[in-house]
Amino acid sequence: MRAWRLVLAAATAARRRISLAHADSWWLEHGQHGYAAAPSAPAPARVLLDLYGPVCGAGPDRPFALAQLGQSLDGHIATASGDSYFVTGPDSLRHLHRLRALCAAVVVGAGTVARDDPRLTVRHVEGDSPVRVVLDPNARLDPGHRVFTDASVRTIVVHGADVHAPAPGLAEVLQVPVEGRRLRLDVLLRELHARGLWSVLVEGGGTTVSSFLEAGLLDRLQIAIAPLITGDGRPGLSLAARDKIAECLRPQHRVFALGGDVLFDCDLRATAPAAVATGALSRVF
Q: Among all residues, whose Cβ is closest to ligand NAP?
A: 205
Complete edge-to-edge strand list for the sheet that includes strand 172-176 = 172-176, 155-160, 131-135, 105-109, 199-204, 64-71, 220-225, 261-267, 252-258
35 beta partners: 30
Q: What is the dihedral of CA 211, 215, 219, 224, to 10 degrees?
A: 30
Using CB under 6 A, which residues numbered 136 to 155 contact ligand NAP? 136-138, 140
Say whether residue 108 binds ligand NAP (CB under 6 A): yes
Task: Indicate which single residue of 77, 101, 189, 228 sits in contact with ligand NAP (rule: CB under 6 A).
Answer: 77
C-alpha to C-alpha distance for 188 and 266, rounded to whole angstroms = 23
Give whichever of 183 and 268 is closer to ligand NAP, judged by the CB atom: 183
DSSP state letters, 167-212? PPTTPEEEEE-EETTEE-HHHHHHHHHHTT--EEEEEE-HHHHHHH
Say whether residue 185 binds ligand NAP (CB under 6 A): yes
Sign of torsion, CA 129 88 252 133?
Answer: negative
Stretch that binds ligand NAP, among 35-43, 177-185, 263-271, 274-282 (CB under 6 A): 177-185
Say whether residue 171 binds ligand NAP (CB under 6 A): no
Whether the upstream peptide bond of residue 205 has omega within 30° of 0, thus cis, is yes
Give whichever of 127 and 236 is closer to ligand NAP, judged by the CB atom: 236
Do the bridges between strand 199-204 and strand 105-109 make them parallel or antiparallel, or are there none, so unpaired? parallel
Q: How far is the CB of 179 from ligand NAP (least distance, A)?
A: 9
Stretch that binds ligand NAP, among 43-51, 80-88, 165-173, 269-277 (CB under 6 A): 80-88
Question: How many residues line the site for ligand NAP (CB under 6 A)?
Answer: 30
Task: Indicate which single residue of 54, 59, 109, 169 sits in contact with ligand NAP (rule: CB under 6 A).
Answer: 109
Using CB under 6 A, which residues numbered 233 to 272 contact ligand NAP? 234
Rounded to 5°, the CA angle 64-152-85 comes to: 70
Stretch that binds ligand NAP, among 15-23, 165-173, 198-206, 269-277 (CB under 6 A): 198-206
Task: Indicate which single residue of 12, 25, 207, 252 sits in contact with ligand NAP (rule: CB under 6 A).
Answer: 207
Say whether residue 84 binds ligand NAP (CB under 6 A): yes
In 3D space, the residue among 88, 65, 16 whose CA is nearest the CA of residue 208 turns out to be 65
φ, ψ of residue 212 in degrees (nearest 5): -65, -40
Residues that bind ligand NAP (CB under 6 A): 69-70, 77-78, 82, 84, 87, 108-112, 115-116, 135-138, 140, 182-183, 185, 203-208, 211, 234
